[in-house]
């Protein structure tokens, strides 16, 4: 494992704007130059990547060699980047304030096939993006999964995971969150700059009325009510509360209301020409958690990574959950805690319900959610790279 710290003294300036249809080619040329592998790249228009950075089906390209890769921003603005990239012959890291504005002139870090590096001094930005460029194979663009919104701590990027066949789920195109009613003006402005233009609200009518969505200017807010209505429940033991959460996961698989709602979300994502979409519920962990578990599984992300994504809400909601429990008597808090948590057994019951009723996840997507082959192909074409 290589470990290093980088503190660039020069600000990262974006490369000159390139017409969108040629951007991929220009980025590749700049990358080769920066690595000391100068080359002249010329390709006919038919071979150029499209505006989403995807290559035509007939274009040959090396696979992305990264088996793991993450970016994490610390409270002090330091970024920790780690990766493992077999047969990559080393990796160079570049940074930018947008995905299209990576500065390939000034690398911010270097490492071997497996490394952990720290990057400091990048300055202010809504979101810093990092391009990991191996000496062999395709590069990978990542950012911290969290958007670090104080008013929505569970606002996360839905991407950044590797599939079983070595592709990666793109970041910066689909997001997940909890309640949006408390977003500040500054947070809304940031979401607008990030281009979020479609919001899928998975909550009930009563929840929407009590806490109306705050969405970026110009964004479309679409209700896809997963549970219909929330009836009163009053568990008297922690075991009862936990069982309610386990049962609720199965209901999100089985109920017609949930199936219709998730069908609407996924067909909407598949039809979008420029995704930048968000789905959310109240806490961003249960209805939203199953939405992400379904999406990632449909894209080919392994079950252990899907579970990792699902359980991440415990981390991002830790402070608010602790405050909620601290406001209650200890006995009441013990009963209430399972309702605030996400736990492996909750998600496992959703997958078990899929297996029991449909036999396979593919069958659930087709028969339960009504997602045809064409829809799934479009989702993969939009959301996968490599």
In the chain the first and final C-alpha atoms are separated, in Å, by 25
> Six-digit token pair at 198?
């479609």
pLDDT band at 59 (very low <50, low <70, confident <90, very high): very low
Nearest Cα neighbor of 28 from 36, 20, 39, 19 is 39
Of all residues in the chain, what percent carry a pLDDT higher than 70?
83
Nearest Cα neighbor of 301 from 170, 164, 142 is 164
Handedness of CA 190, 193, 197, 198 (dihedral sign): negative
Domain ranges across the chain: 2-144, 174-385
List Cβ neighbours of 132 (8 Å cut-off, separation of 6 or more): 66, 69, 81, 83, 85, 91, 92, 93, 139, 140, 141, 142
Nearest Cα neighbor of 142 from 163, 128, 122 is 128
pLDDT band at 168 (very low <50, low <70, confident <90, very high): very high
pLDDT tens figures, 292-323: 999 999 999 999 999 999 999 999 999 999 99
Q: Rounded to 5, what percent of the chain is helix, strand, coil?
A: 40, 20, 40
Nearest Cα neighbor of 280 from 334, 213, 182 is 213
8-state DSSP, 19? -
Question: CA-to-CA distance for 384 and 165, rounded, in angstroms?
Answer: 11
Nearest Cα neighbor of 47 from 57, 38, 39 is 57
In our burial notation (b when 16+ CB lie closer than 10 A, e otherwise), range 274-308 reads ebbbbbbbbbbbbbbbbbbbbbbbbbbbeeebbbe
pLDDT band at 274 (very low <50, low <70, confident <90, very high): low
pLDDT band at 232 (very low <50, low <70, confident <90, very high): low
Q: Is the distance from CB of 154 to CB of 313 less than 8 angstroms?
A: yes
Supply the CATH classification number for the domain 2-144.
Answer: 2.60.40.10
Name the pTM for this structure: 0.84
Cα-only R_g, the chain: 22
> Six-digit token pair at 330?
């200890």
CATH fold, domain 174-385, is: 3.90.190
Question: CA-to-CA distance for 303 and 313, rounded, in angstroms?
Answer: 17
């Amino acid at each position: 494992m290589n470990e290093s710290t980088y503190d660039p003294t020069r600000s990262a300036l974006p490369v000159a704007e390139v017409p969108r249809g040629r951007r991929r080619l220009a980025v590749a040329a700049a990358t080769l130059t920066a690595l000391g592998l100068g080359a002249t790249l010329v390709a006919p228009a038919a071979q150029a990547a499209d505006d989403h950075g995807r290559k035509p089906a007939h274009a040959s390209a090396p696979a992305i060699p990264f088996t793991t890769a993450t970016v994490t921003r610390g409270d002090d603005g330091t970024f920790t980047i780690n990766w493992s990239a077999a047969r990559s012959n080393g990796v160079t890291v570049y940074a930018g304030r947008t995905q299209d504005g990576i500065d390939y002139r000034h690398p911010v870090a270097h490492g071997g096939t497996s490394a952990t590096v720290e990057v400091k001094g990048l300055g202010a930005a809504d979101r810093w993006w990092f391009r990991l460029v191996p000496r062999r194979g395709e590069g990978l663009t990542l950012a911290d999964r969290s958007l670090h919104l104080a008013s929505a701590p569970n606002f996360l990027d839905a991407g950044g995971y590797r599939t079983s066949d070595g592709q990666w789920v793109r970041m910066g195109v689909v997001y997940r969150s909890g309640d949006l009613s408390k977003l500040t003006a500054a947070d809304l402005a940031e979401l607008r700059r990030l281009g979020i233009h479609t919001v899928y609200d998975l909550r009930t009518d009563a929840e929407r009325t009590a806490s109306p969505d705050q969405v970026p200017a110009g964004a479309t807010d679409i209700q896809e009510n997963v549970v219909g209505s929330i009836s009163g429940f009053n568990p008297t033991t922690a075991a009862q509360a936990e069982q309610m959460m386990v049962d609720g996961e199965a209901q999100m698989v089985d109920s017609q209301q949930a199936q219709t709602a998730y069908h609407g979300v996924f067909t909407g994502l598949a039809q979008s020409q420029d995704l930048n979409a968000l789905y959310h519920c109240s806490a961003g962990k249960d209805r939203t958690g199953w939405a992400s578990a379904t999406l990632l599984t449909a894209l080919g992300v392994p079950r252990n990574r899907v579970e990792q994504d699902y359980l991440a809400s415990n981390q991002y909601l830790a402070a608010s959950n602790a405050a909620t429990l601290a406001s209650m008597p200890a006995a009441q808090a013990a009963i209430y805690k399972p309702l605030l948590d996400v736990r492996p057994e909750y998600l496992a019951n959703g997958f078990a319900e899929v297996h029991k009723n449909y036999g396979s996840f593919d069958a659930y997507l087709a028969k339960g959610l009504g997602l045809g082959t064409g829809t799934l192909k479009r989702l993969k074409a939009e959301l996968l790279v490599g």
